[in-house]
Amino acid sequence: MVKTISGFFVAILVLAGCAGGNRDLVSLGKQADAFVNAHNIDGFAGLLADDVVLKGPDGSMHRGKDSAKAWMASMQSGFHVDSRGYQQSGDTLSWVSTVRSESFASMGINPIRTNTMAVYAGDKIRYFEADLDQESAGKMRFLQFYGEVVNGGNIDAIDNYITEDMIEHQPLPPGTPKGAAGVKAYFKMIREAYPDLHGTPTMILADGDKVLIYATWEGTNKGKFMGKPASNKKVSWGVGDIIRLVNGKAVEHWGWGDAPVAVAETSGK
């Protein structure tokens, strides 16, 4: 009798699993995209479980429906997603998305591409994550470097972006340390010469594990730089960099730059 009852419950669990696997999660995934593209936040939130966990492409984590809803609302300006390649396995749905938004455009990385996955409990999303593809992640990493190191002046943070043995292809003065140590020495020198240094990326391209960024750097020359005394003038110049990334860190670098020009000359004053 016990064996018969146990067998009965096993059969019920198997049938339940088969029923879950037969649910059309693809239609639910497409419905989520439709709500997002219509900027219908309440409709999107209605597809989420109350205890949903959502991981955004920026790495941010949001727990609970209200938090996930607030995050989606913050992304809505100019937001549009195109998805393809849906694959269902049991309660899990995975797909690839191309995402556009005004916030991504302001960073110069519009659009981004993500590998997306959702785990369902019934017809509600219990877990959702969108991970940047290799090229989008590379662009984002370079922008983080600009925000934290170039513009933020956090020289110690260079260790988070550059390997100790990074190969430098740009000609450097004799005696320059290799890898992260050399990059730290450079930024220490340029920060002393241009305390208000600020870089504005104008082009970001990626191909596989390589990322190219071209930016305009600007600053007031308050200290000696490359053997020249301080001019106390505000200047700007173009800077180009190509890096090859492995696990989020630069392992190779190519770079070039224009000669600094007084800002008054470039603005026509």
E strand residue ranges, 25-181: 48-55, 61-63, 80-89, 92-100, 112-121, 124-132, 162-168
Q: Tell whether the model's pLDDT for residue 115 goes beyond 60.
A: yes
Residue range 2-132 in CATH 3.10.450.50: yes
Mean pLDDT taken over the chain: 87
Give the chain's length.
Answer: 269
Q: Measured between alpha carbons, how far is 55 from 66 in angstroms, rounded to an integer?
A: 14
Residue ranges per domain, the chain?
Answer: 2-132, 136-267
Residues near 201 by Cβ (< 8 Å), separated by ≥ 6? Answer: 108, 142, 143, 146, 213, 214, 215
Question: What does the CA dihedral 156, 263, 233, 240 come to, rounded to 10 degrees?
Answer: 30
Q: Measured between alpha carbons, how far is 149 from 187 in angstroms, rounded to an integer?
A: 8
Q: Measured between alpha carbons, how far is 73 from 197 in angstroms, rounded to an integer?
A: 34
At 152-200, the pLDDT tens digits run 999 999 999 999 999 999 888 788 888 999 999 999 999 999 999 999 9
> Do residues 116 and 223 lie in contact, with contact meaning Cβ atoms separated by under 8 Å?
no
Sign of the torsion angle spanned by Cα atoms 33, 38, 43, 45: positive
Q: Which CATH class for the 136-267 domain?
A: alpha beta
Within this chain, domains 2-132 and 136-267 share the same CATH topology: yes
What pLDDT score does 236 carry? 96
Predicted TM-score of the model (pTM): 0.71
Q: Measured between alpha carbons, how far is 128 from 72 in angstroms, rounded to an integer?
A: 12
At 207-239, the pLDDT tens digits run 999 999 999 999 999 998 877 888 999 999 999
Residues near 122 by Cβ (< 8 Å), separated by ≥ 6? Answer: none
